[in-house]
Amino acid sequence: MGILEKMRLDGKTAFVTGGARGIGKSVAAALCEAGSNVAVVDVDYQEAEKTASELQTLGTGVIAVSCDVTDQDQVNQMVRTIVEHFGSLDVAFCNAGICTNYPAEEMTFEQWKKVIDVNLTGVFLTAQAAGKQMIQQGGGSIIATASMSAHIVNVPQPQCAYNASKAGVRQLVKSLAVEWAQKNVRVNSISPGYIGTDLVLSSPTLIPLIEQWKKVSPMGRIGRPDELQAVVVYLAGEASSFTTGSDFVVDGAFTSI
């Protein structure tokens, strides 16, 4: 099989959490373009439905599924719905995440817990539900969205819960990769640098910092969601058959300096 053929995902089924917008939406489109059926999974069902109907024009099967990744019953139901609809689950992009910026000494327990629940527990619950189905089927590929914040402490904004949650994702991914290596379920993560999505562009704390980040970024800019598409498509399919437990930093060299 040639390399371009190995990058194809024809006949496969993927879910994308946080798929309604931002990085999730862009990657969902790429998975469709590579031939996969896609479930656009989001807590914002209205937006997920809008995204799903846009992606249906790409020619593969696309559905919207409402799911809060912090709720185990909803997560298990989400996987059941997808398997009932498409017959299998081959690729899981565990991507939903939130960012808050509170100084550590002022953060409430609830504020801490919310970020850990969505970013770390949410990835565990969705990866666990996907992993169970994939083990039963004989294999699959799970990709989680970590962050460059798994590797560095961003400045000047305070975000200790976010940074800790993403470092947790990185170690969770390595753990699952080792546990499931013999079961043909691969588990990897991507670690984006700053990307122009609502997570950044609708945060009153982060918007004024964008120019500062650009000044210290070797490429002098932030990234676009479409610049993460290829790495996820690669990780989803046969081209990455020996790649598991790995993390792919895509940050325009921000963390290299």
User: Which of 26, 141, 162, 194 is the catalytic position?
Assistant: 162
Whether residue 90 contacts residue 136, with contact meaning beta carbons closer than 8 Å, is answered with no
Q: Is 45 part of the annotated catalytic residue set? A: no
- CB 131, min distance to ligand NDP, A: 18
DSSP 118: I
User: Which of 25, 165, 166, 217 is the catalytic position?
Assistant: 166
| Token output for 140 | 């699959």
Residue closer to ligand NDP by CB (options 24, 252) is 24
Q: Is 234 part of the annotated catalytic residue set? A: no
- How would you label 112-140 residue by residue, b for 16+ Cβ within 10 Å and e otherwise? beebbbbbbbbbbbbbbbbbebbeeeeeb
Q: List the end-to-end C-alpha distance of the chain, in Å, as a whole number.
A: 39
Whether residue 60 contacts residue 36, with contact meaning beta carbons closer than 8 Å, is answered with yes
- CB 24, min distance to ligand NDP, A: 6
How far apart (Å, rounded) are the C-alpha atoms in residues 36 and 245?
23
- Torsion over CA of 121, 225, 39 and 181, rounded to 10 degrees? -60
Residue closer to ligand NDP by CB (options 131, 192) is 192
Q: Is 162 part of the annotated catalytic residue set? A: yes
User: What SS3 state is found at 23?
Assistant: helix
Identify the bridge partners of residue 140 per DSSP, sorted by sequence position. Answer: 185
- CB 80, min distance to ligand NDP, A: 17
- CB 194, min distance to ligand NDP, A: 5
Burial class (CB in 10 A: 0-12, 13-18, 19+), 251: buried
User: Which of 147, 149, 165, 217 is the catalytic position?
Assistant: 147
How far apart (Å, rounded) are the C-alpha atoms in residues 23 and 99?
14
Residue closer to ligand NDP by CB (options 26, 133) is 26
- CB 5, min distance to ligand NDP, A: 29
Residue closer to ligand NDP by CB (options 227, 238) is 227
What are the residues binding ligand NDP (CB under 6 A)? 17-18, 20-24, 42-44, 67-70, 95-99, 118, 122, 145, 147, 192, 194-195, 197-200
Residue closer to ligand NDP by CB (options 8, 232) is 232
Report the catalytic residues: 147, 162, 166
